Amino acid sequence: SAVISQKPSRDICQRGTSLTIQCQVDSQVTMMFWYRQQPGQSLTLIATANQGSEATYESGFVIDKFPISRPNLTFSTLTVSNMSPEDSSIYLCSVMTGTDTQYFGPGTRLTVL
């Protein structure tokens, strides 16, 4: 499986600010995803990060709030914009290899005050 890193691992932010989370993979992958895990909850898909085109967002998530970039096959960023305390969550990126299996990064724990 691929080795996936995320930066930062955790952050504490003030409401109204934005945070960009980076996801780096050690090999080229076809598909990358961003998930949110709210406190005590399961994971919910935010969007699929498409290389060279706009991300595909799930219902309830919009580009203005969660802009995503994917400039190449090994890197993606997720920005959480105009943050509020309700955005406090763990944000995880995942990648899919040719086996239709998703592997996850270590996650970014975000706290918004």
Partner 1 sequence: AQTVTQSQPEMSVQEAETVTLSCTYDTSESDYYLFWYKQPPSRQMILVIRQEAYKQQNATENRFSVNFQKAAKSFSLKISDSQLGDAAMYFCAYSGGSNYKLTFGKGTLLTVNP
Before 8, cis peptide (omega within 30)?
A: yes
Query: Closest distance between partner 1 and the C-beta of residue 78, in Å?
Result: 16
Sign of the C-alpha dihedral, residues 4, 70, 67, 81?
A: positive
Type of residue found at 8: P
20 binds partner 1 (CB under 8 A): no
Pick between residue 38 and residue 72 the one whose CB is nearest to partner 1: 38
Query: Does 53 sit near partner 1 (CB under 8 A)?
Result: no
Among 21-29, 62-70, 78-86, 91-99, the segment contacting partner 1 (CB under 8 A):
91-99
Closest approach of Cβ 105 to partner 1, in Å? 8
Strand 68-72 relative to strand 56-57, pairing: unpaired
Determine the Cα–Cα distance for residues 36 and 90; give it in Å rounded to an integer.
6
Does residue 73 bind partner 1 (CB under 8 A)?
Answer: no
Please name the amino acid found at residue 40: G
Contact with partner 1 (CB under 8 A) among 45, 69, 88, 111: 45
Torsion over CA of 31, 53, 75 and 48, rounded to 10 degrees? -40
Which residues contribute to the site for partner 1 (CB under 8 A)? 1, 31, 33, 35, 37, 41-45, 48, 56, 58, 90, 92, 94, 96, 99-104, 106-107, 109
